[in-house]
Amino acid sequence: MKMLDVVTFGETMVLFASEAMTPIEYSNNFSKQIGGAESNVAIGLQRLGHSVGWFSKLGNDPFGRYIHKFIRGEGVDTSRCIYTDEAPTGIFFKENRSPNNIKVYYYRQHSAASLLSPGDLDEEYIAGAKFLHVTGITPALSPSCREAVFKAIDIAKRHKVKVVFDPNIRLKLWTMEEARPVLLEMAAEADVILPGFDEGKWLSGRNTPEEIASFFGNEKLVIIKLGEQGAYYRFGNEHGYVKGFVVPQVVDPVGAGDGFAAGVISGLLRNEPIPEAVRRGNAVGAIVVGTNGDVEGLPSKEELEEFLQGVRYADVRR
């Protein structure tokens, strides 16, 4: 069996984006894309030159096939995807009045992905990876999904696969009261934790990046995303702030966190010093928000290198 750098899994949905910057109620035209935090990370890593596997349970319908083909087309290993006739593929609608005013409407309750369960995991597949990436979305989908996440983490730990955990708190799926104990349990098992600043505050009840990082403990790599300001990291005695990149025009803020995760994991796979890996995360995030779509803007290895070296495309030379 081919060894993969990273394995991740979770629900990817078909995203219908309103084509006009107007409330969805008045939009007449919608375009079809895909959206899913874990597949965003998988595609981001693949594009940066790593080998990645992603899987989910998909509806045996055109939308399930579309997701599968899109992600497989990107070069991600999708051989562990499972189709079901029992539920349709989850979808959602994205309303974009302006880059400052984005809302989403889900049709994911009772979706195919919510039927994912521990029995769907291939132990050998996970065991062969260097990193397992999990998010706080999956345990919110259903009890069987929650069990699957913890089983996957358990497999990883037994096989010395490092676990990267991105909280991705989704208050449309569960309340903070429901979410906190589950996410803290995930955090406790993880080797790398990537909360946003607000997420860190909510989970820890503390107020500064330093305090939040301490809350999660010294033996883990904790990286707290600070938006345009960059990020704060702590691992044992190492800690510090890594400045963000200036984004001249935010076109679409969605996907920044997933791009950050892809950049950081890529840096870790390359055995970069932590501040370098964090800078890589900042860079991927900054590139992503300058392009429409969750995955469309994820940079190739070459694009990322150019960006890190300061090349910008502001001047047009045909």
Q: Which residues are catalytic?
A: 258
Closest contact distance (angstroms) between CB of 268 and a copy of itself is 26
User: Does 38 contact a copy of itself by CB under 8 A?
Assistant: no
Helix (H, G, I), strand (E, B) or coil at 284: helix
User: Does 301 contact a copy of itself by CB under 8 A?
Assistant: no
164, 134 Cβ separation under 8 angstroms: yes
Q: Write the CA distances from 294 to 128, 254, 281, 299, integer angstroms.
A: 28, 6, 15, 12
Burial of 173 (0-12, 13-18, 19+ CB in 10 A): middle
Token pair in block for residue 135: 């998010």
Q: Which of these ranges, 147-155, 164-172, 200-208, 237-245, lies near a copy of itself under the rule CB under 8 A?
A: 164-172
Widest CA span in the chain: 55
Closest contact distance (angstroms) between CB of 229 and a copy of itself is 15
Using CB under 8 A, which residues numbered 222 to 261 contact a copy of itself?
248-249, 251, 253-254
Q: Give buried/exposed letters for 274-308 (b at 16+ CB in 10 A, else e).
A: bbebbbbbbbbbbbbbbebbbbebbbeeebbeebb
Total residues contacting a copy of itself by CB under 8 A comes to 67
Closest contact distance (angstroms) between CB of 45 and a copy of itself is 16
| Of 126, 70, 93, residue with least CA distance to 22 | 93
Residues 173-202 as x/- pattern, contact with a copy of itself by CB under 8 A: -------------------------x----
Phi and psi (nearest 5°) for 42?
Answer: -60, -45
Using CB under 8 A, which residues numbered 65 to 104 contact a copy of itself?
65-66, 68-70, 72-75, 88, 91-92, 95, 97-104
Binding site for a copy of itself (CB under 8 A): 16, 19-32, 61-63, 65-66, 68-70, 72-75, 88, 91-92, 95, 97-107, 109-110, 169-172, 198, 248-249, 251, 253-254, 290-293, 296-297, 312-318
